[in-house]
Structure 1
């Protein structure tokens, strides 16, 4: 439909150019028009040859206006349709990328810069720009071809001059600027990427930036990149306008030359010269801007190509055949068993986990201890299903996990990290993470907050559950952020909750309070606790001790913690007993 609209616009442009040319010739010499041209139309429109000059000019004046209105209306509809088409494609690609990124394996995210992924989704607009530029290029090309074909029929000699002059000049310009524009477009994208990284790093680390007084360093690097980007952008914009200026100069020279040739060389009559020059002037009036737009849109396509290439490279990474289903909760009835589990990160020289073999029974509270780098968080990521084991098996109630059962297992899990993500939204929206406000069960949110021991905190909020708690929870204390994370985990009605060093960043008072909250859930569901401090796991049913990615010991807390303390006596804190 868009292509049909473009053809219609091109034909209407040509008809409008001819109508204006005929109108100009009629005004210049109406007697010649009445005597020479209108009688030829008598067989189509009886009585047209008997029109008076006044009536002729009146009809032509109204006709020209109507033709221009019709042409512009068709152009408006086609422009709207083409922009809507490009915007819809751009929006679809953005949605596909976001869903694709979220569905990619967790290890894939560990290998990519989140700022680059965010920018990659933002670059979908360049795909829309490329489609828009390509459609405009096609439209203007049709206009030029049809107009010049009409001019060729009306005046072959003049048409040859137009073809050679405009065509030759355009080809020469395109050849001269092509490589320069491609180089500037690539530089444009690279500077843009670097600028985005500088902004992301400085704003995400604003606390450290202020503490270490690094604002000048970040500002200086940003300033260097943004000025380089500005120079590349200015050069691109300047070179993009040069073809239009050159074509305008050449067009005026061509029009002047045509008048001189027809007047002095061919000796044509005034009526013919007036009509032809009017047609040439109107054609130039439409063709020259169209030619300029063709060159500009060609350059716009070149500018968008590096960005589109990046978007397409991300699309290539997203599996095309993967279909995600809403996981069904199947329940955790007996046990989760890990058999000879090993895992190695992509590009690593050794395993992060080796031959891990133990069992978690339903309703147990399991503590996982070990020094920094022992593999505690990696083990939990494997248990959750974020990292697929390099070898070994995970069995849920005696059945080896496949993709559907893994998703069903994940539907049972609540997760409380050391540094939970707090969205710039209300408390209710943070607890019911990812749900629309209209879909949130506020009574359930309140129940989860009370289970997370947030009563005192709730009373301090001006709007209760609908209070805004700041981006990344800046209005909350460390203990309050952890309680929000616990309430978020409980909102899922989990059968298993994993606490990934949830108290390691807290002071003793807050740690003790969070521990009480954690152990208040004991025997109500299965708990897996990664400990920074040994005191955190003393109340567990069983302790798993990891050492250099290997299972060193499992068993009752007293037995394992005594052995661990003796093994790391020199490294443990004298007052709290930490795992490093």
Structure 2
């Protein structure tokens, strides 16, 4: 686990963890040295019954060493925190890159909260595993050093005490190991579920208010958050109980040893100094033993995060290998001079049920195409296949001579992006909580936004008059997902966003469903006027809108049939 996690770090983070490990090793060496010096000073004072000037000076020197160690510990803490959070940030960037570059099928397997947990929590937990392992090793080495001092000073008593402490640690760890892993899995699952309930409450806020079901939603969140709190409480209790068990067990053992000494009538004055050293060393070993067990339990607790990260990193490696292979392939500039041609398309989300079976369609350049069909017939799936978001089991989708399925043209394998060619309005529109301006000029750098073009697109989308009346015009904030504006306004802003791009093909998936017929027709007329030579594909339920198009296709019985 440790080797794998350190192996996936960037060069800077690899250097940082090694620096932290060295600093962590120096710290206990200084501790053991300081403790040995204390033993040395006590022995000299007890033997000679006085302190020489040299001994006093040496003691003052050790005061300075202790002060320097304080500064050293602060620096080590800074390095540790920097490593954890910068390392987690670098890992989170890789996981986030995977999430935004993976194909649509993989994307649809995850919820937003699962993705959030993978990007934020799992990465931090895995970096913390590295820190925990370093702590386990360093504390183990330090314990061995103090055990050596213990044995040197107390002979057989030190040997027995060290063995008993080691056995006690082993028993506690193996008794709790499985439970800690179970706590980690349950905690992760309930955290995701509790966070999901928050998004559900925001996503269904209107329905919840109208149906007066806030108590139901609150109950669902309460169950999830209570389960999470219970798991966390049990986990923290087990962790704290380790310290209690260690401390009281060692104290009991010390009293047993003291009782044995008293029974055998040993001269207490003769063993007073070694006894003080023995007790001090044992007390110093207790927190180290606790840290070792705590670190090992934290590693077990984070096992599920480690498994999730490892799976993501395997996919990330495959993604990077694919990108590397793609870079070696000829780059092609995608064009749309002839049109789009779909040939013998077969697709299904499972091998048993096909949505399309040997379906074909021709979309001439410059034409407006309407795609109609019953709900569930596969209209949105067709759009996803057309845009390369889904890969069919068989068939071809040609943009002029380029096949986006096989990624090749007449000259052979090549790669081409359709971002500069296609503008797309999905069925479910996403608007962020920023201004109208930034939502229209989506994915555009702030300083590169063309405000004149933004206004032109808003006019074309038949929403400019509404925007002009808003308090801050195009700089008006619209709330998360456009909650501060109407559904029709949201859809028209999404349309303006699509028009902002310089496209050859505009694909609209129910993009005007929230508009009245008059506004809908005005929008389409504006698009035709401004983008007269562009190709338009509209998925719609409105026959009145479909009849405005040059060609109408209907999805029916796994085929795409031309009806007009």
TM-score (norm 1): 0.84
Partner Cα distance (1:24, 1:451) in 2: 90
Q: Is the CA contact 1:20–1:278 (under 8 Å) kept in the aligned structure 2?
A: no
Q: Which deviates further from its counterpart, 259-268 or 460-469?
A: 259-268
RMSD: 2.8
Equivalent residue for 1:115, pick from 113, 116, 120: 113
1:45 aligned residue = none
Structure 2 CA distance for partners of 1:525 and 1:424, relative to 1, 3 Å:
same
Give the paired residue count: 533
CA deviation vs aligned residue, 1:149-187 (integer Å, no higher than 9, x gap): 233334432320321221122112122222332333322
1:67 aligned residue = 65
1:497 aligned residue = 506
Q: 1:6 Cα deviation (Å)?
A: 2.2
Structure 2 CA distance for partners of 1:396 and 1:423, relative to 1, 3 Å:
same
Unaligned segments of structure 1, at least 5 residues: 35-50, 555-559, 561-580
Equivalent residue for 2:529, pick from 520, 523, 526: 520
CA deviation vs aligned residue, 1:30-76 (integer Å, no higher than 9, x gap): 73466xxxxxxxxxxxxxxxx44xx633x244233223223333333
Structure 2 CA distance for partners of 1:517 and 1:177, relative to 1, 3 Å:
same
Equivalent residue for 1:5, pick from 14, 23, 35: 23
Partner Cα distance (1:271, 1:451) in 2: 99
1:363 aligned residue = 366
Q: Is the CA contact 1:365–1:522 (under 8 Å) kept in the aligned structure 2?
A: no
Structure 2 CA distance for partners of 1:436 and 1:127, relative to 1, 3 Å:
farther
Q: Is the CA contact 2:360–2:559 (under 8 Å) kept in the aligned structure 1?
A: no
1:352 aligned residue = 355
CA deviation vs aligned residue, 1:260-301 (integer Å, no higher than 9, x gap): 667885957857632x23432332332111111111122211
Q: Secondary structure at the match of 1:543?
A: strand
1:31 aligned residue = 48
1:459 aligned residue = 468
Q: Does 1:389 align with 2:392?
A: yes
Equivalent residue for 1:295, pick from 293, 296, 301: 293
> What are the equivalent positions in structure 2 for 1:206-245 lying under 5 Å apart?
206-245=205-244
Q: 1:422 Cα deviation (Å)?
A: 0.8
Partner Cα distance (1:371, 1:248) in 2: 71
Q: Secondary structure at the match of 2:484?
A: coil
1:543 aligned residue = 552
Structure 2 CA distance for partners of 1:160 and 1:303, relative to 1, 3 Å:
same
Q: Which deviates further from its counterpart, 493-502 or 145-154?
A: 145-154
> What are the equivalent positions in structure 2 for 1:33-432 lying under 5 Å apart?
51-52=52-53, 56-57=55-56, 59-123=57-121, 124-256=123-255, 267=266, 270=269, 273-274=272-273, 276-318=274-316, 319-320=318-319, 321-323=321-323, 329-345=333-349, 347=350, 349-401=352-404, 402-403=406-407, 407-432=416-441
Q: Is the CA contact 1:32–1:271 (under 8 Å) kept in the aligned structure 2?
A: no
Q: 1:414 Cα deviation (Å)?
A: 0.7
Unaligned segments of structure 2, at least 5 residues: 1-18, 409-413
Q: Secondary structure at the match of 1:387?
A: coil
1:14 aligned residue = 32
1:483 aligned residue = 492
Q: 1:528 Cα deviation (Å)?
A: 0.9
Q: 1:80 Cα deviation (Å)?
A: 2.8
Partner Cα distance (2:372, 2:193) in 1: 40
Q: 1:24 Cα deviation (Å)?
A: 4.5
Q: Which has the larger radius of gyration?
A: 1
